[in-house]
Amino acid sequence: MRQRVFSGMQPTGIVHLGNLMGALTNWAAMQDDHDCIYCVVDLHAITAPFEPEEMRAARTDLAKAIMAVGVDPDRSLLYRQADVPEHVELMWLLGVDATMGPLGRMTQYKEKSDKAGERFGLFAYPLLQAADILIHRVHAVPVGDDQTQHLELTRDIAERFNNRYGETFPIPDRITPPVGARVSSLQDPTAKMSKSDPNPHAMVGVFEDPDAIMKKFKRAVTDSGSEVRYDWDEKPGISNLLEIFSFFDGRSIDDLVAEYGDQMYGHLKVAVGEAVVEGLRPIRERYEALADDEVEEILSSHAARAREMAQSTIEDVKQAMGLA
């Protein structure tokens, strides 16, 4: 039996190499062996300041990007979280038994509340994330290291519900992406590439102008010395470039080190930039070929299917809890 998997992405900022290499490429690859459900998690996105009109456009743009990378709406379910209100309904049903301690210990909550204040949306974020996963009773979730804590909380919530009300949810396993799980900032290779980075040269957008991409790689921070070597402890800048290069070029890191090991850092930066530009070209072309109204139609029809699945889960949850 094919496993059912779920993953989501927020429609905030621009889609960058970290999103592509750490998530979206793997989303497309998983369609071959899994029943995939993917979601534009707009309800999560509004826990940060936003402009309504920008949010409206960003939701469609992200869906286009997901499809351009290779998620096929004929093989996977793709919808907007806000179009399936059962996500929020399940969040409440799960939340009545959740305790304050684990939610307050979430690393993401601690970091964001330090900047934005102790807001309910940030505090309850992991509950909604658990509902996202459990509403479709999925078997596995592809997550990076930064989301492991959230998945563990989801597993705990599902186990607690099953123990109290009867077996209702499968306990979701973690799928670790095989490649590209670690993509660092081009200006600080000790930090993850992020949409929120204030340095415009730190992040490379998937749909960015090719000339701008080349400039960013030429300005990428490297390490002391002149040896091209894969070593995250001593040479994080070069190691980051080698991982990106290997992803887009298709050759192993060992082969790339053998070719560029005795060359100047500048030669490596140019080669990486050229590989990225060429690798992004077909994704850009597919993105530009997608019409907004076509994407909207897909999202709406898929949301209707997602609601049917979600309503079945809600009915079972209510029955288990004595609410139906």
Same domain, 277 and 308: no
The one catalytic residue among 110, 115, 192, 216 = 192
**What's 196's DSSP letter?**
T
Lowest mean pLDDT among 29-33, 70-74, 101-105: 101-105
Side chain identity, residue 230: Y
Is residue 270 assigned to a domain?
yes
Computed over every residue of the chain, the mean pLDDT equals 92
CATH at 220:
1.10.240.10
- Give yes or no for residue 180 having a pLDDT over 60: no
The one catalytic residue among 64, 110, 115, 195 = 195
> Would you call 112 a catalytic residue per the annotation?
yes
Which distant-in-sequence residues (6+ apart) come within 8 Å of 251 by Cβ?
Answer: 245
Q: Which residue has the higher pLDDT, 140 or 195?
A: 140
> Would you call 235 a catalytic residue per the annotation?
no
Domain count, the chain: 2
Q: Which residue has the higher pLDDT, 98 or 80?
A: 80
Q: What is the pLDDT of residue 42?
A: 97
φ, ψ dihedrals at 180, nearest 5° = 65, 20
In this prediction the pTM is 0.92
Is residue 202 assigned to a domain?
no
Distance of CA 226 to CAs 232, 260, 261, 265, Å? 15, 11, 9, 7
Q: What is the pLDDT of residue 22?
A: 87
The one catalytic residue among 112, 216, 235, 269 = 112
Is residue 24 assigned to a domain?
yes
- Give yes or no for residue 179 having a pLDDT over 70: no
Same domain, 271 and 249: yes
Question: Phi/psi class of residue 203: alpha, beta or left (left: φ > 0; alpha: ψ in -120 to 50)?
Answer: beta
Q: How far is CA 19 from the centre of its chain?
A: 6
Average pLDDT over residues 276-297: 97
Same domain, 244 and 133: no
